[in-house]
């Protein structure tokens, strides 16, 4: 468990997953991404699905897993509307990277829509390479795909 300014990052529990869905607009605004929240991730990949808890609830979370090719894949990462700009997203990514490394990951990967300029800028600030992959999410559905080598605290490698 990592404690910073009253926030503790720890593996998500089923109750945390349900709380995140209940408070969905606090993390995602008017974008309805509830269908991307899969309880199976928390059930099957608990050590790499993390929540940032404080006295006033869950401030942020990251749901991810390690693939067979040793990639730590971040499926979702979000911070609550009242904690944006505090560095919590970076702390969540660091905690995920450490958990993924403990489970054999050698690199990180994430995706977002090409329109999500905030996410693209955030991932680039963390040292990820970003490239648009046409038809990634189906015909006519390009996605921004991010890659970064581990360890997370090491200087970033050359683009792939």
Domain ranges of the chain: 2-149
Spatial distance between the Cα atoms of 136 and 75, rounded to a whole number of angstroms = 15
Pairing, β 107-113 against β 71-79: parallel
Record the pTM. 0.90
Spatial distance between the Cα atoms of 69 and 6, rounded to a whole number of angstroms = 36
Q: How confident is the prediction along the chain (160 residues), in pLDDT tens digits per residue?
A: 444 568 999 999 999 999 999 999 999 999 999 999 999 999 999 999 999 999 999 999 999 999 999 999 999 999 999 999 999 999 999 999 999 999 999 999 999 999 999 999 999 999 999 999 999 999 999 999 999 999 887 555 444 4
The whole-number pLDDT of residue 159 equals 43
67, exposed or middle or buried, with CB in 10 Å at 0-12, 13-18, 19+? Answer: middle
131, exposed or middle or buried, with CB in 10 Å at 0-12, 13-18, 19+? Answer: exposed
**Quick one: fold of 2-149?**
Aminopeptidase (3.40.630)
Q: How far is CA 71 from CA 55, 82, 83, in A?
A: 33, 31, 28
The whole-number pLDDT of residue 10 equals 96
Residue with tokens 């600030």: 125
């Amino acid at each position: 468990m990592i404690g910073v300014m009253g926030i503790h990052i720890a593996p998500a529990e089923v109750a945390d997953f349900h709380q995140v869905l209940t408070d969905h607009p606090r993390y995602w605004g008017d974008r309805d991404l509830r269908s991307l929240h899969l309880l199976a991730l928390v059930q099957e990949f608990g050590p790499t699905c993390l929540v940032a808890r404080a006295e006033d609830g869950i401030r942020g979370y990251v749901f991810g897993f390690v693939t067979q090719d040793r990639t730590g894949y971040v499926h979702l990462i979000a911070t609550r509307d009242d904690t944006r700009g505090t560095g919590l997203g970076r702390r969540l990514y660091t905690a995920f990277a450490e958990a993924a490394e403990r489970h054999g990951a050698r690199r990180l990967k994430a995706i977002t829509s090409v329109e999500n300029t905030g996410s693209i800028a955030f991932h680039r600030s963390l040292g990820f390479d970003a490239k648009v992959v046409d038809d990634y999410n189906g015909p006519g559905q390009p996605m921004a795909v991010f890659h970064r080598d581990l360890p997370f605290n090491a200087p970033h490698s050359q683009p792939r």
